[in-house]
């Protein structure tokens, strides 16, 4: 078998790339080690930047997204029992969209299947050797000769190993805390996201639909979700999200899903080696505080698709040669914003000096238009150009 671009991974990065290539008349093969059911049910981030929505809509992928999304024009920072709204749209002219990543993946899989181009789930023993992609499906080995390979298979995928370690520089930081995330069958108690700084640790009130709330608690990095029964979770959420407003009430309901996510910052450079290109979590990880992981992956493949389009149109390979340099400018901006949000909102130790610095930063961001605009610009995302 032969194709122009072999894509490893059928998450948002790989599927968006495959669709953008299809729109440009470029052939691709997508392989994914998990089942379709697993991929479509993976609960991940659901905050889409303004530019991400624009790109998906322009690519013909926005029909259901635009019908079912929840549009937010601000976020709230809660500290000292008082909520402070940051008016994102008023400050930037752009908004954010809430649309579950698993719902977006369903849309992307449907779009891929409509093209009748290869999408292989449950691909075992996936290997990348130069421009050769090998895998097994139903016990049968398939080898695909590719012009290029795009590694979109996440932090634990095999693609990054296709680059010699001596050719990579790794930047990494692990955090001493994690997020305990729950999905609850309960209407959101707020129309917008609430980021809460509390002496007991950070909390986030988010949502997936008008009937499903997504909630997070800062916990130690070695936390086992089994040690957090439902009653304990709700007690802690009530404490950290409480405020001096008699109208506020946290809506509770059955917890549908519970998991612990580690927090790290990770970047490899370069994001390309010969004919292999890394995109999304295969090349970088950001703490979830800034809601940037999915958006950063889409930004990567937008650059990569443009480079492939230029190459196959006979206009040279300049964009492909500059792929890593172009993407890393955005990656490091996003890394800094995510680190800054994490540092401002999470309790790291019992040092009163650090606590006062965090509170000072929060007061500044919520009282200065310039500081609030900086947060808003980064949160809604910069243009895809």
Three-state secondary structure of 310-377? HHHCCCCCHHHHCHHHHHHHHHHHHHHHHHHHHHHHCCCCCCHHHHHHHHHHHHHHCCCHHHHHHHHH
Tell me if residue 175 is catalytic. no
Quick check: helix, strand or coil at residue 183?
A: strand
Tell me if residue 197 is catalytic. no
Tell me if residue 72 is catalytic. yes
The H or E element spanning position 120 is strand 119-120
In whole angstroms, give the CA distance from residue 41 to residue 54. Answer: 24
Give the residue from 201, 209, 193 showing the smallest Cα distance to 291. Answer: 193
Tell me if residue 292 is catalytic. yes
According to DSSP, the residues that pair with 93 across neighbouring strands are: none
Which listed residue (19, 50, 72, 205) is catalytic? 72
Give the residue from 70, 75, 71 showing the smallest Cα distance to 87. Answer: 75
In whole angstroms, give the CA distance from residue 342 to residue 295. Answer: 18
Which listed residue (50, 198, 284, 292) is catalytic? 292
Q: How many C-beta atoms lie closer than 10 Å to residue 268's C-beta?
A: 21
Tell me if residue 106 is catalytic. no
Which listed residue (198, 288, 311, 346) is catalytic? 288
Residue pair 256/184 in contact by the 8 Å Cβ criterion: yes
Which listed residue (197, 311, 323, 379) is catalytic? 379
User: What are the DSSP calls for 23-81, one per residue?
Assistant: HTT--EEEE-SS-HHHHHH-----EE-HHHHHHHHHTT--HHHHHH-EEES-EEEEETT
Distance of CA 248 to the CA centre of its chain: 29
Which listed residue (50, 118, 175, 195) is catalytic? 195
In whole angstroms, give the CA distance from residue 124 to residue 87. Answer: 47
Residue pair 126/158 in contact by the 8 Å Cβ criterion: yes
Residue pair 269/284 in contact by the 8 Å Cβ criterion: no
Active site members: 72, 195, 288, 292, 379
């Amino acid at each position: 078998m032969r194709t122009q671009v072999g894509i490893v991974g059928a998450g948002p990065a790989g599927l968006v790339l495959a669709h953008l290539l299809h729109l440009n008349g470029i052939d691709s093969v997508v392989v994914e080690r998990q089942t379709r059911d697993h991929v479509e049910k993976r609960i991940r981030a659901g905050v889409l930047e303004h530019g991400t929505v624009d790109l998906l809509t322009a690519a013909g992928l926005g029909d259901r997204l635009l019908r079912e999304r929840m549009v937010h024009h601000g976020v709230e920072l809660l500290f000292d029992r008082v909520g402070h709204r940051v008016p994102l749209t008023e400050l930037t002219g752009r908004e954010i969209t809430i649309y579950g990543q698993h719902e977006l993946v369903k849309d992307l899989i449907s779009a891929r299947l409509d093209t009748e181009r290869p999408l292989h789930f449950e691909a075992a023993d996936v290997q990348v050797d130069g421009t050769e992609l090998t895998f097994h499906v139903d016990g049968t080995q398939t080898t695909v000769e590719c012009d290029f390979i795009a590694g979109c298979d996440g932090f634990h995928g095999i693609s990054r190993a296709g680059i010699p370690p001596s050719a990579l520089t790794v930047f990494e930081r692990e955090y001493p805390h994690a997020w305990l995330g729950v999905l609850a069958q309960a209407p959101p108690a707020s129309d917008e996201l609430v980021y809460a700084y509390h002496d007991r640790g950070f909390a986030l009130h988010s949502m997936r639909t008008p009937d499903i709330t997504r909630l997070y608690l800062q916990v130690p990095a070695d936390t086992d979700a089994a040690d957090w029964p439902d009653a304990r979770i709700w007690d802690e959420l009530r404490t950290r999200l409480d405020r001096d407003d008699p109208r506020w009430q946290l809506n509770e309901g059955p917890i549908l899903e519970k998991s612990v996510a580690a927090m790290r910052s990770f970047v490899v450079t370069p994001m390309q080696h010969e004919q292999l290109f890394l995109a999304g979590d295969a090349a970088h990880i950001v703490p979830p505080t800034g809601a940037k992981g999915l958006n950063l992956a889409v930004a990567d493949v937008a650059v990569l698709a443009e480079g492939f389009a230029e190459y196959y149109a006979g206009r040279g390979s300049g964009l492909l040669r500059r792929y890593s340099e172009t993407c890393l400018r955005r990656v490091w901006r996003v890394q800094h914003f995510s680190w800054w949000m994490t540092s401002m909102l999470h309790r790291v130790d019992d040092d009163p000096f650090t606590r006062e610095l965090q509170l000072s930063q929060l007061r500044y961001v919520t009282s200065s238009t310039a500081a609030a605009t900086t947060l808003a610009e980064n949160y809604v995302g910069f243009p895809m150009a």
